[in-house]
Amino acid sequence: MNKIRIIEKLKENYSLFSAYIHSLSSDEYMFSYMDKWTGGQQLDHIYRSTKPLARILILPKFILKGLFGVANRPSKSYEDLVKKYHSKLAEGGRASGPFVPNTKTTNENLKLQNKIQFVLDQLIKSIQKYSEQELDQTILPHPLLGKITLREMLYFTIYHVEHHHHLTKNNLSFHN
């Protein structure tokens, strides 16, 4: 997937998730089945996981290179990255620390959605400064996947919001 397509998919997946969460009634937004995250918590988790990526990409490229090095292998395909993520989840990988969401009320929905849109816009602006080659050379740390290329991190970000969209829908399938 090239940079233009990555940006398109980020916009598309975040927009679909945001619209879905926005469409929920207050009861649906706060519903949790068997201690699964509510729609509001899913939204908060997406914000908490996107914000650090958007922030770190504001740094100059040479600082990222100095902190994390450069890739010593080609980037995985989107499909292979998703498989690796599923494998880590199957091994018991879960969100931890700053990525665990707080309880969010329906009153916080619009504010949180605006914050997500802000960090997404910031992320996209930063991505545009990278060449295709730099997407494959730049390394970033992921709390579950280890050191991955920037392209792989963006693949993860595309999939991650889709994954949580699906989890939210699945949770609500138990709502009466």
The residue type of 38 is T
**Is 80 exceeded by the pLDDT of residue 176?**
no
Q: Which of 44, 4, 20 is nearest to 124 (CA)?
A: 4
pTM of the model: 0.95
Structural domains for the chain: 3-172 (1.20.120.450)
For the stretch 100-155, pLDDT in tens is: 998 888 888 889 999 999 999 999 999 999 999 999 999 999 999 999 999 999 99
Angle at 151 between CA 147 and CA 157, to 5 degrees: 85
